[in-house]
């Protein structure tokens, strides 16, 4: 794959020498990014259960964190503790903790500091993507819910852009393999701009109807894509495309969030943008558009990826992308 992306002309010439047809080359180009796609996809699962705690120190002396625990309680009294599910856990840095837990339950956090152990009051996680301020005093932890509207919840912008990039890549694979029109991309984008925020909001209060909502999302996206492409693509192909996009998103989204840490997740938009641009440059755009258009389009996609990756320095990211692409 590195050889193909580094020198596409040589890659194509070698395929031609071996007698591979144009359609065969398209299939090869689809398989290359597909191998990278599966562990990275993250889309229609909606809010991922990552709760953020901002640590605000109000101690008389500086303290450091040794370890931390998250406890689930049966009620507000927290007399009896409930065994946490295997994937529920909390990780802390000096000024922030992130917990993977499910909404709708009572919780308590216990943090062992360098001077002593402190535990919090009992609090309830009412929504996915909840945010809390934790005031660290000399004797206890005071948890305060500061969760805001879903559009500004931590991770919404990141996962929204990830959703767009992932489904765009799947659509491009569909186009490359079946040699379809680029209008499919526009239809996929329109469908996801509507479906992702809606699913995020609906799942914010719980996952009781997750499977039903996922089925409705598959149906909705299929209908939208069919509306734009009904004259050129059979309905069964569009239905399969919608099902595959959402199935990959659902399965791989769980793996991504519950296996990888937040720092790795925030790097993925750049990875996906590079893969998308590679597929485009090697297939559709190269045959239909000028080099100048490809350069402008490429910079636009990289800007989108950099915006969602601001934790790593958006200015540096953009400068590096533009300087590389303009060589």
Percentage with pLDDT > 90 across the chain: 13
In this structure, are 177 and 211 located in the same domain?
Answer: yes
- State the average pLDDT for the chain: 68
- Number of C-beta neighbours around residue 86 at 10 A: 7
Q: Are residues 177 and 284 in the same domain?
A: yes
The pLDDT tens digits for 284-307 are 566 666 667 666 666 666 565 555
Pair (132, 243) in one structural domain: no
Residues 34 and 55 in one domain: no
Q: Name the least confident of 64-68, 116-120, 172-176.
A: 172-176
Domain that holds residue 320: 2-46+153-325
Write down which residue in 95, 127, 148 finishes a domain: 148
Confidence category of residue 268, pLDDT binned at 50, 70, 90:
low
**166 and 208 share a domain?**
yes
178 plus 267 within the same structural domain: yes
Please check the confidence at residue 12 and state whether its pLDDT lies above 50: no
Looking at the fold, whether 282 and 207 belong to one and the same domain comes out as yes
Q: How many CA atoms lie within 13 A of 17 on its CB side?
A: 6
Please give the average per-residue pLDDT across 21-25, as a whole number.
44
Last residue of a domain, one of 125, 148, 171: 148
Q: Report angle CA 122, 124, 125 to the nearest 5 degrees.
A: 135
Residues 6+ apart with CB under 8 A from 203: 46, 47, 128, 210, 213
Pairwise pLDDT comparison (84 vs 308), residue with the higher score: 84
Instruction: Report the domain count for the chain.
Output: 2
Whole-structure pTM value:
0.46
Q: Looking at the structure, tell me whether residues 93 and 110 fall in a common domain.
A: yes
214 and 313 together in one domain? yes
- How far is CA 52 from its chain centroid? 17
């Amino acid at each position: 794959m590195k050889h193909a992306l580094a020198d596409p002309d040589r890659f194509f010439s070698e395929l031609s020498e071996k007698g591979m047809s144009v359609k065969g080359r398209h299939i090869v180009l689809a398989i290359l990014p597909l191998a990278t796609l599966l562990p990275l996809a993250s889309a229609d699962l909606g809010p991922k259960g990552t709760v953020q705690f901002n640590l605000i120190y109000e101690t008389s002396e500086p303290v450091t964190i040794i370890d931390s625990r998250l406890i689930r309680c049966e009620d507000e009294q927290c007399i009896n503790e409930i065994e946490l599910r295997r994937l529920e856990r909390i990780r802390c840095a000096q000024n922030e903790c992130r917990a993977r837990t499910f909404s709708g339950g009572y919780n308590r956090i216990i943090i062992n500091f360098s001077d002593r152990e402190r535990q919090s009051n009992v609090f309830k996680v009412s929504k996915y993507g909840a945010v809390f301020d934790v005031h660290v005093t000399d004797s206890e932890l005071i948890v305060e819910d500061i969760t805001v509207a879903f559009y500004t919840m931590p991770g919404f912008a990141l996962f929204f852009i990830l959703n767009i990039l992932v489904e765009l890549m799947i659509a491009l694979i569909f186009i490359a393999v079946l040699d379809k029109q680029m209008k499919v991309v526009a239809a996929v984008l329109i469908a996801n701009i509507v479906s992702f925020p809606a699913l995020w909001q609906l799942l914010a209060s719980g996952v009781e109807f997750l499977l039903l909502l996922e089925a409705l999302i598959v149906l909705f996206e299929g209908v939208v894509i069919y509306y734009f492409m009904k004259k050129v693509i059979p309905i069964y192909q569009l239905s399969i495309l919608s099902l595959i996009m959402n199935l990959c998103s659902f399965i791989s989204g769980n793996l991504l969030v519950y296996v990888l840490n937040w720092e790795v997740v925030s790097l993925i938009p750049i990875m996906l943008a590079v893969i998308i641009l590679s597929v485009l440059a090697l297939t559709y755009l190269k045959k239909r558009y000028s080099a100048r258009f490809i350069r402008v389009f490429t910079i636009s996609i990289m800007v989108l990826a950099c915006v969602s990756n601001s934790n790593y320095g958006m200015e540096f990211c953009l400068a590096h992308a533009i300087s590389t692409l303009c060589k």
